[in-house]
Amino acid sequence: KVGPAPALTKQPLEGLTTASTFVLDQPRCVFKDFGNAVIWLVVALAKDAPAFNNSAGPGTPETAFQSFPEPVSAYMTLNATLGSYPCIEPPRDITVLRVGSETSCAKDVSRPTCNGPLPGPGPYRVKFLALEGSVPVAETDWSMPITLRTAKSPSSLSTAGSGHSAGMIAITAILSILLAILLAALVAMLVFCSSDSCGSSTFSKPDSVSVRRYNTHHVYDQAAARL
């Protein structure tokens, strides 16, 4: 046994668990004494984990992802050599494993070690197993149970906001009615004003103004006037 046991990563990542995946820390420096080994991740339902047989070979019908969880109770995936998990972490690298991230091989029986989407919420338990050839030489303990997220059914969704929505619908309906009335009144006014009875008035031509001519006696020279 080597340690520590696998666990969900503590790195601040989105989607730590989803409906079909979860994210583990890589087993860095855990198998440093087994340089010739290939390290596998074993995934099992929590109830079936204790019954897993380490001698089950990866890539066989006994451990194929495509038959999980029935009749296969645990599958093996994400194989890597020790060089993939050095003790010193490269700077700025995200050293995690996302379990369940491969969709292209989920139904491809020619790839029994597919890291395919998990078929349900679980709970699951995982462990790392080191094999030299087909011989198990080291393993971690099983992880704590890992439960995935589940989608809510429509019947379980909260209807607390339905009152607010109904109020908004009522306000919208009232405003629509008022707008229709206003438009109708505007149309009626336009029709009414198109006739002579709206704002029309008769203008008569004013009578000609006659201006009498007055000769003021003081304007003319009296003597000239007598001539």
The pLDDT of residue 225: 46
**Token reading at 209:** 């103004």
d(CA 30, CA 86): 9
Supply the pTM of this predicted model: 0.67
- Nearest alpha carbon to residue 4 among 19, 18, 24: 24
d(CA 49, CA 142): 8
The pLDDT of residue 90: 73
Residue 213 belongs to some domain of the structure: no
72 and 181 fall within a common domain? no
The pLDDT of residue 226: 45
The whole domain housing 81 covers: 22-146
Whether 110 shows a pLDDT value over 50: the answer reads yes
51 and 116 fall within a common domain? yes
Q: What is the CA radius of gyration of the chain?
A: 46
72 and 36 fall within a common domain? yes
Express each pLDDT in 140-181 by its tens digit.
999 999 999 986 655 555 555 555 566 778 788 888 888 888
Out of 146, 176, 202, a domain closes at: 146
H helical segments located in the chain: 162-193, 222-226
Helix (H/G/I), strand (E/B), else coil: 49: helix
Number of domains in the chain: 2
The pLDDT of residue 182: 85
119 and 176 fall within a common domain? no
Q: What's the whole-number mean pLDDT along residues 201-205?
A: 51
Out of 87, 115, 146, a domain closes at: 146
The pLDDT of residue 178: 85
Query: Which residue in the block uniquely carries the two structure tokens 């303990």?
Result: 141
Residue 158 belongs to some domain of the structure: no
DSSP conformation letters of 117-171: PPSS---EEEEEEEEETTEEEEEPPPPPPB----PPPGGGS--TTHHHHHHHHHH
50 and 140 fall within a common domain? yes
- Regarding predicted confidence, which is higher, 112 or 174? 112
139 and 180 fall within a common domain? no
Whether 216 shows a pLDDT value over 70: the answer reads no
